[in-house]
Structure 1
Amino acid sequence: MVHRKFAIALLAAAVGGCAQAPKPDIAQERTGEGIDIAASTAESYTQAPRERALPPVDIWDRLRRGFRLQRHTDHPKVKDYITYFSRNEGYMARVTERSRRYIFHVTEQLEAAGHPLELALLPIVESAYDPFAYSHARASGMWQFIPATGRSFGLHQNWWYDGRRDVHESTRAAIQYFSYLSERFNGDWELALAAYNAGEGTVSRAIESNRRRGLGTSFWDLKLPRETQRYVPQLLALAEVVSRPDYYRVPLHDIDNRPYYAAADVGSQIDLAQAADLAGIEIEELQLLNPGYNRWATDPNGKHQLLLPIEKRDTFLSALSQLPEDQRVSWQRYTIARGDTLSTIARRYETTVAAIRQVNKLRGNTIRAGHTLLIPTASGAGAQYAYTLDQRVSRQSSGSGRKTSYTVRPGDTLWEISRSLGVEVRQLASWNNMAPADTLRPGQKLVAYDTGGNSRTTRKLSYRVRNGDSLYRIARKFSLEIKDILRWNKITEKSYLQPGQRLTLFVDSASSG
């Protein structure tokens, strides 16, 4: 858990809750082939002027050009995380694949603010780039805002919508907060990052304590919470492996340096299933681009905006123009029964009392049996809206199969526990009301369920073969069977893999470890 506090004259609120990437098993990860980190790093900081004059070849190239932070690769904690990320290739492939919808737009906003582009990697540390991540500290979204902090930075939250999960708005809010922290700590980004994690008060007190004792006041000199001591090194280690993925053999998902989505103004409430149909996309894709919407439809009182795959925006707007506003949600005529209240009716139809009152022009909450109400209803079955709050809570609370209890031991991480129990780390986190990489407490009780292997979600991945790759290595990296890779790509075991060759893989995208 992370607790952030900041004191802004204009915005005063408690800050909290962020998730971290799993803590590396240092003893295990130091074994095996070594990496000369120090020797590689000097080269990674420089780029030929001619190369910099060319357009970025992809989003990772663009990020590297905007990296500004000293990476301290000689520091033990940074070294440990470099080793961790370079050894956990499957994790890096999945988490960078998950970022593909968002990272270009995060980068755009960071560049506009003049911030170091290492910050585009921070959602990996915070949430594994999962906009639906939720921690036991009530932090939510890619940037892990708690409710009070989100409201302080203009992230609206109500029954229909939670701006902390809105990928565009939460990024705006995070950058606004970074701007404040950078100024607060005189441009020292290591201190600013520590404050984003632990709270500016915690960092300021640590600085003052060291100053009184005549000690150094850099991030590395301060006595900070253990989680914060790991937080900054994780980001620096990520920046290092992203700067030289081939050297560290880290598979970064290929992401073009171009927009993934574009905003479309809808002008009214709309059923998300209907919106997906108008755009010609799956509702899952629409919800992954618009995770701020809690329910089956957008907020009737705004904001009336959807993010869509950029190539589908015009298709959507053209189809939307032919659809009257009163047909953008489905309606049902309901006859009030004895004992009904607006609250019970609203819960039954997954809407709000305010929405029912507004549609039916009711001034109060009094209703009479036998009268009828017009109720907005979802056009599809509940399970069709897989990422609504109700569906996510239902999946989280309805663990099926044989229940297993686990008592956390010192040094445990969710990633390690999930691997030992044979379940997915995000599923384990969900069952226990946590974010995928929350800090665990020794003695804490966790539950897991035997899912029978049916809870996995697969996603198509285009993998670029690298020097030294083999079918066995790739299969092990992504927990796949060689025979499946052969079948998907219509090749044989005798086929020679060429560096740069593309392989189609269907990987488990539910796992962040």
Structure 2
Amino acid sequence: MQKILQSLPIALALLAGGCAILDTADETAGPRHPAASERGATPELPAALVPDALVSFETPASLPDPLPPARPDDLWQRIREGFRLPEADDPKVRQQLSYFAARPDYMARVAERARPYLFHIVEQIEARDLPTELALLPVVESAFRPFAYSHGRAAGIWQFVPATGRHYGLTQNWWYDGRRDVLAATDAALDYLERLSELFDGDWLLAVAAYNAGEGRVMRAIERNRAAGRPGDFWSLDLPRETRHYVPRLLALRDLVQAPEVHGLSIPEIPNEPQIATVELDHQIDLALAAELAGITVEQLYQLNPGYNRWATAPEGPHRLVLPLELAEAFRTAVAERPPESWLRWERHRVQPGESLIAIARRYHVTVDALREANDLNGSLIRAGSHLLVPVASRPSGEYALSAGQRLRAQQDRQRAGRERQSYVVRSGDSFWSIARRHGVGVRELAGWNNMAPGDTLRVGQQLAIWTEDAQPVRTARAAPEARLQSVRYTVRKGDSLYAIAQRFNVTVSQLRQWNGLGTGGYLQPGQTLRLRVDVTAQSSR
């Protein structure tokens, strides 16, 4: 009995200890792991004496799996959750925030433009584990305008210049400009940004600065600072003025999206779900027909497929079409019911004596390559009297409202307050600078009126719109007459050469070759007829 009484306090202590562990387990979400000193203070119980509840509690398999985070309904919230760029309390960021706060409608317009594409862009960014602030970069670059074109020759929402676009795989030709193809350009932009991040050791502010200014310029600025014993971070670098405001503008947009209400703004919600689908086709298709089969307007189709310059997809591809998600399946069914040869309208052209593929292509507004492919031609040789199949638009040109030609016409015709329009035909030797100087306008103005950049190439015979402040032609000390081009035929004489004929008519040898389908190794024969486009005003003033 004495031994039993002596053992009773120990048993009571063990039971009390077990109750303490069970009570603690009820208050926590996970198993409790006591410290080593606690484990030494309480003797271990034989397995047979351990309460079932305690065994069950310490078995991880009995714990429920944690619930995945709730998927946000608003795409902007999803973007917020992926922000990773460093905070910056800088006057330039505050200045940009003030700019946005003073324009409450700006983000509403941008959100509406971004709506079709933004989900796709965010998906691609997250798939690469990149900061979601990059989804805001098209706001800085182009305000999400897919047809944006800068004075520096940059195009599309990501504003690729021609050389960089080609380097990252963006095709650019008469039919198609991949810089404006939102899907293709997004892939290229993220490839470029990833490479810049690696180049600058994961410093995203430097990577974004290099996207704007060029990696070489940013690297040289870092090297100058290091040589002078100064820091090499973005805020310490001597960079172009545009770049010094470019990065703060992105950070200001991040702050604005993070807490729009703090800045007195409201950003329209965008559903966190796909808005578009892609349909891959095997052949060229008229965009008016595609719009009809999809049940949308031609203009809506161009807005979703801004990479296409003309009235159809490119002969060599891509043939991919982006459509509203809810219409894609019906379009696939409708287009499958039509034979591919009916996807384009064809015209049968009889080759006239003296005609070349170049001349026929110009007449029908197609490319020589398109004619070759349609007619299974290997070279440029065609015979008078033979027939060619020529792809032509199925609707009047005005119905392809956002084709390159119609966008140019709309830009040239857009009224400018206090100015009146004049037309000018480019002639040999002209440049933006000489034409602008002759008419008393700015070079950038002149290029912008014609959907061009000052660095773009002018073509002889190209028609430009010039908006002058005076309805009368500008008079200068040596005002040149307006160019008037006229087609003429010239019969080759003994002793003539392409160079001599070009000099005589104030054209170039390459133009003579192009107009007449001449190769580089051919010889002229006396009696041969050449076609020329001659500026008659220049001839009369010689």
**Common fold by TM > 0.5:** yes
Alignment of 1:63-212 (within 5 A): 63-72=79-88, 74-212=89-227
What is the percent sequence identity of the aligned residues?
52
Corresponding residue for residue 352 of structure 1: 367
2:73 matched to 1:57?
Answer: yes
Distance 2:91 2:233 in 1: 16
Q: Choose from 347, 350, 355 the match for 1:332.
A: 347
Q: Choose from 219, 244, 247 the match for 1:229.
A: 244
Maintained 8 Å contact 1:264/1:306: yes
Give aligned pairs, total. Answer: 369
Corresponding residue for residue 310 of structure 1: 325
What is the RMSD computed on CA atoms of the aligned residues?
A: 2.5
Distance 1:401 1:119 in 2: 36
Decide which structure has the larger Cα Rg and report it.
2
Q: Deviations over 1:50-90 (max 9, x none)?
A: 99932112111111111111231x21100010011011112
Q: Once the 2 structures are TM-superposed, how far is the Cα of residue 232 of structure 1 from its aligned partner?
A: 0.2
Maintained 8 Å contact 2:141/2:157: yes
Distance 2:67 2:363 in 1: 60
Corresponding residue for residue 268 of structure 1: 283
Maintained 8 Å contact 1:67/1:116: yes
Q: Once the 2 structures are TM-superposed, how far is the Cα of residue 207 of structure 1 from its aligned partner?
A: 1.0
Q: TM-score, normalised by structure 1?
A: 0.68
Distance 1:155 1:84 in 2: 34
- Partner SS state of residue 326, structure 1: helix
Residue identity matched to 2:73 = V
- Partner SS state of residue 419, structure 2: strand
- Partner SS state of residue 89, structure 1: coil
Q: Once the 2 structures are TM-superposed, how far is the Cα of residue 315 of structure 1 from its aligned partner?
A: 0.5
Alignment of 1:98-497 (within 5 A): 98-400=113-415, 404=419, 430-431=448-449, 433=451
Q: Once the 2 structures are TM-superposed, how far is the Cα of residue 355 of structure 1 from its aligned partner?
A: 1.2
Maintained 8 Å contact 1:431/1:448: no
Q: Once the 2 structures are TM-superposed, how far is the Cα of residue 377 of structure 1 from its aligned partner?
A: 0.7
Distance 2:127 2:395 in 1: 40
Maintained 8 Å contact 1:271/1:296: yes
Distance 2:99 2:446 in 1: 21
- Partner SS state of residue 285, structure 1: helix
> Where does the alignment leave 5 or more consecutive residues of structure 2 unmatched?
1-65, 421-444, 454-465, 471-542
Maintained 8 Å contact 2:225/2:237: yes
Distance 1:242 1:94 in 2: 14
User: Is the alpha carbon distance of 1:62 and 1:266 closer, same or farther for their aligned partners in structure 2, counting shifts above 3 Å?
Assistant: same
Distance 1:331 1:449 in 2: 45
Q: Once the 2 structures are TM-superposed, how far is the Cα of residue 338 of structure 1 from its aligned partner?
A: 4.0
Distance 1:60 1:349 in 2: 47
Maintained 8 Å contact 2:408/2:451: no
Q: Once the 2 structures are TM-superposed, how far is the Cα of residue 251 of structure 1 from its aligned partner?
A: 3.1
Q: Once the 2 structures are TM-superposed, how far is the Cα of residue 231 of structure 1 from its aligned partner?
A: 0.2
Q: Once the 2 structures are TM-superposed, how far is the Cα of residue 339 of structure 1 from its aligned partner?
A: 4.2
Distance 2:221 2:165 in 1: 26
Distance 1:128 1:447 in 2: 26
- Partner SS state of residue 93, structure 2: helix
Residue identity matched to 2:449 = W
Q: TM-score, normalised by structure 2?
A: 0.65
Maintained 8 Å contact 1:71/1:239: no
Distance 1:212 1:326 in 2: 66
Distance 2:239 2:398 in 1: 44
Q: Deviations over 1:199-229 (max 9, x none)?
A: 1111111111111111111100111110000
Residue identity matched to 2:79 = L
User: Is the alpha carbon distance of 1:52 and 1:359 closer, same or farther for their aligned partners in structure 2, counting shifts above 3 Å?
Assistant: same
Residue identity matched to 1:431 = W
Q: Deviations over 1:278-306 (max 9, x none)?
A: 11111111111111111111111122211
Residue identity matched to 1:378 = A
User: Is the alpha carbon distance of 1:230 and 1:402 closer, same or farther for their aligned partners in structure 2, counting shifts above 3 Å?
Assistant: closer
Q: Once the 2 structures are TM-superposed, how far is the Cα of residue 402 of structure 1 from its aligned partner?
A: 6.0
Distance 1:331 1:432 in 2: 31
Maintained 8 Å contact 1:403/1:447: no
User: Is the alpha carbon distance of 1:222 and 1:401 closer, same or farther for their aligned partners in structure 2, counting shifts above 3 Å?
Assistant: closer
Maintained 8 Å contact 2:416/2:467: no
Residue identity matched to 1:65 = E
Distance 1:208 1:267 in 2: 51
